[in-house]
Structure 1
Amino acid sequence: MDQAIDLRSKCPHFRILVVGRANAGKTTLLKKVCNSVEDPEIFSPNGKKLELAVVEGTAQRGEHDIENQLIFKSNRQFIFHDSRGFESGSANEIQKVTDFITTRSATNELAKQLHAIWCIVCLQTPPGRCWQPMSSSSTFLVLEKALPVIAIFTKFDGLIDQAYGELRDRGKSIPDAKNAAPERAQEILTSNFIGPLNTTKFPPSDFVQMDDMRMKETSCIDLINKTANALTDDTLKLLFVSVQQNNIDLCIIQAVGYWLNSDLQDVERFVSEGISWFPHAWVPQICCF
């Protein structure tokens, strides 16, 4: 565990590639994850801050750079990369993502590696287009390298509306259709999305469904928990759990789990290593409390 504690000084951020079509709710989701109401700052690969107008202008000309880093002021320990345009299925865009993943996987520097992928699937658009990225060759490459991939189904409430309309068309009364719509929406999600993805050679590590993320009550805790559970490397799990700021329960669970499985006899070290799972709790060296 010494290596895990030292990790935060060598690699203070967690790097995530976000895959998804335009208007799938990517920025809204990331704001929720980082507890922000502001748009992210954008930095070039060498750390130079870029003006949003310049970035948007190049994107409109088809010059979007996946290497650009999205960072929120509210939590600078997360670095996001946007695969904008990947859902188009063009060979050029898929190759860009493949090259990005390959390059990041090849580096020996943990701080420059890609640590996880979030694939956002909007449930308010035709399913064939939504889950196309999950069956692409670049995603297979990611999964072959054991990189955690979480499929995130956004706007589940929109699927409930679709299910309600379907039930009404079948002759259900308004009250009956309203009551049955959530269950029917879950059936559609399982049969049309999760089922097909689970039959692929390299299925996603896990699935998360979310309602309209613009709603204040929508939570991303399930996403945080499932991303943490998908990380099999203890050092990466420690890094992710300690930089996320949404779920203190997750920090407690991981810390208690570590303590229960620890055979350390040194009380000071025992406490300091457990505390390292918590956000903002930085223990640079073993000390007396």
Structure 2
Amino acid sequence: MVVDTNKVVDLRSKCPHFRVLIIGRANAGKTTLLKKVCNSIDDPQIFSPAGKKIDLAIVEGSAARGLHDIENQVIFKSNPQFIFHDSRGFESGSIDEAKKVKDFIARRAGSNRFSEQLHAIWYCFPTDTNRPLLKADEEFFDTNVPGKVPLIAIFTKFDGLLTKAFNRLKANGSSRMEAKNLQGQHAQDILNTDFIAPLMSTKFCPSAYVRMDDMRKETSNCMDLIEKTANTLTDDMLKLLFVSVQQNNIDLCIQFAVKVGLATSTELALPFDYILLFFPHIWKVGVDTGAFHGSLLIWNHTGRGGE
């Protein structure tokens, strides 16, 4: 992986945000997940496609009436370099919603502006349910969606599946202690059989999948999701953008910084200007190395910088 700093600067100026479509039915844990990704305890801000801020009360009122605009942009103050678009997912018989999502993906894929395109799709499946994959979910993954956007399946609320596994074991005659010791493996077996296997057997299965435990706990994290997303991005420049925007996995920043440095430099010491590219809150615009002249711009989490 060799990175041209000038191209990175050009990409960052044209595309300061990483844009994600998150799909999931009601109570899939999407908002909780996004809060964890953006290190936020506050609710997001909602903006219209034109950039006008929308009152959350209006958004919630529309949702209660069954109205939902996938074009709206969901942004957290703690990390405004992520832009999210929210789909309600495909409840039973929601043909209109499925078409709306596919049309949205196609429109974004057809945009000439890289900043307006989708960069990743996160598809949430709650595992604390008796309906693992809906027919509409299967139809979505059996259809070739335009754009070749990396899609990561996220199995949320695994803690609920643990409870289900515990109750099954107890019902089958296990003692409380036995059920407690076996519930982890039994829950994983259920996840593999009822969720992962049917999903990965679809015609256009996800690029990757992750399992998320109770994201409401302070000790929980989304580092696996961040790493899987980075690994599914085949464009090196887009991967660099994502790694620098995310603020959860510093190890990932170091990993890619070393890869870039070793691939780019013929010296034993890693080039400082390349290393800085991969760290959250810091964006390297240029450096006076003798080969070219520039300046160092430090970006904080608000997305604004200063020399």
TM > 0.5 fold call: yes
Residue 274 of structure 1: aligned partner: 275
Q: Deviations over 1:191-249 (max 9, x none)?
A: 11111111111111111111111111111000000000011111110110000000100
CA distance in 2, matches of 1:132, 1:17: 21
One-letter amino acid of the structure 2 residue matched with residue 29 of structure 1 = L
Cα offset, 1:132, TM superposition:
4.5
Q: Is the 8 A contact 1:116 1:147 kept in 2?
A: yes
Change beyond 3 A, Cα 1:175–1:13:
same
Could you give the per-residue CA deviations for residues 155-196 of structure 1, whole angstroms, max 9, x where no partner exists?
Answer: 111111111111111111111111011001111100111111
- Deviation of residue 139 (structure 1)? 7.1
TM-score under structure 2 length normalisation = 0.88
1:227-281 CA distances to partner (integer Å, 9 max, x unpaired)? 000111111101100000001000000010111222466x89x321221111111
The verdict on how the C-alpha distance between 1:131 and 1:147 changes in structure 2, with shifts beyond 3 A counting, is farther
Structure 1: which 4+ aligned runs deviate by more than 4 Å? 130-133
- Per-residue CA shift, 1:7-61, capped at 9, x if unaligned? 1221111000010011111000000000000000000001000001111122222
CA distance in 2, matches of 1:13, 1:231: 15
Q: CA deviation at 1:137?
A: 3.3
- The total of aligned residue pairs comes to 286
Separation of aligned partners in 2, 1:85 and 1:170 = 34
Query: Which letter does structure 1 place at the counterpart of 2:274?
Result: E
User: Counterparts of 1:254 and 1:153 in 2: how far apart (Å)?
Assistant: 26
Contact 2:106 2:147 in 1 (8 A): no
Whether contact under 8 Å (1:20, 1:87) holds in the other structure is: no
Tell me how far apart the structure 2 counterparts of residues 216 and 275 of structure 1 sit (CA, whole Å): 29
Gaps of 5+ in 1: none
The structure carrying a bigger helix percent of its residues is 1
User: Structure 2 vs 1, CA of residues 174 and 209 (structure 1 numbering), >3 Å: closer, same or farther?
Assistant: same
Q: Normalised by the size of structure 1, how large is the TM-score?
A: 0.93
Distance 2:153 2:179 in 1: 28
Q: 2:39 is aligned with what amino acid?
A: N
The answer to whether the 8 A contact 2:142-2:202 is kept is: no
Tell me by how many angstroms 1:134 deviates: 3.8
Change (3 A) 1:15 1:131: farther
Consecutive unaligned residues in structure 2, runs of 5 or more: 290-295, 297-307
| RMSD of aligned residue pairs (Cα, Å) | 2.0
In structure 2, the partner of 1:135 is 138
Matching residue's letter, 1:161: T
Distance apart, 1:85 and its partner CA: 4.8
- Distance in 2 between the 1:12 and 1:155 partners? 32
CA distance in 2, matches of 1:47, 1:82: 16
Q: Residues of 2 paired with 1:238 and 1:140: CA distance?
A: 29
